[in-house]
Amino acid sequence: MATTMAAPGRVTVRMKVNGVEYAAEVEPRLLLVNFLRDNLGLTGTHIGCDTSQCGACVIHFNGEPVKSCTLLTVQADGADLTTIEGIAKNGEYDEVQMGFWEMHGLQCGYCTPGMIMTANAFLDRNPNPTEAEIRHALEGNLCRCTGYQNIVKAVQYAANQRGGGGAAPGPGTDLEFEHKDVIEHAPENLQDWGDQLAGQEEQ
């Protein structure tokens, strides 16, 4: 669909987002992620890095996962977009969303919308993935707090729920911490703890 000029310095765009038709006049330089968040109020699409590295802004563009911070809004003219708000159907979470819930595939949650969007598109293409394939598919999505283990399990869970099989996801929270190597005994107070960590225990 060709764009048409509107007010001076602005362009008229039309697109479908989560099944709803929208038309708007935008500046040619407006990023798609900003249009979704600021113009349409779809704030589930996150802005994380401003350098297209983190993947927090992933949406589906005509069925394909894209980082919406790398596209201008005018490039989406005539497109069919899906954001994280459009994944659930009839008020029910889809399999990937449930996977992140059941396997505890999130901590702060900032990367989660992008992870879910990427994982959904990936499972559409590869319904029976190996763990290595899942990890490769998520390379463009960065997480700073989970360690990725439970994110992978969430995608495995979703694959199984979709009937694709794949490796059994296992428990969702199986992290094991060994504090004994750091602190030999329970500190009586924070100062004691700090002294231990600094190697300055009282004689």
pLDDT, one tens digit per residue, over 17-36 is 999 999 999 999 999 999 99
Tell me what pLDDT residue 186 has.
42
What ranges in the chain are assigned the alpha helix state H? 32-34, 95-102, 112-125, 131-137, 149-161, 190-197
- DSSP line for 63-109: TEEEEGGGSBGGGGTT-EEE-GGGTSBTTB--HHHHHHHHTT--SS-
Tell me what pLDDT residue 15 has.
98
Do 119 and 61 touch, CB atoms closer than 8 A? no
**For residue 74, how many C-alpha atoms fall within 13 Å in the half-sphere facing its CB?**
15
Domain boundaries, given as residue ranges, for the chain:
4-86, 90-197
Q: Which CATH superfamily is domain 4-86 in?
A: Beta-grasp domain (3.10.20.30)
Tell me what pLDDT residue 203 has.
46
How much of the chain, in percent, has pLDDT values that exceed 90? 73
Do 66 and 49 touch, CB atoms closer than 8 A? no
Question: Which parts of the chain sit beneath pLDDT 70?
Answer: 1-6, 165-203
Tell me what pLDDT residue 195 has.
55
Topology match between the domains 4-86 and 90-197: no
The CATH architecture to which 90-197 belongs is Orthogonal Bundle (1.10)
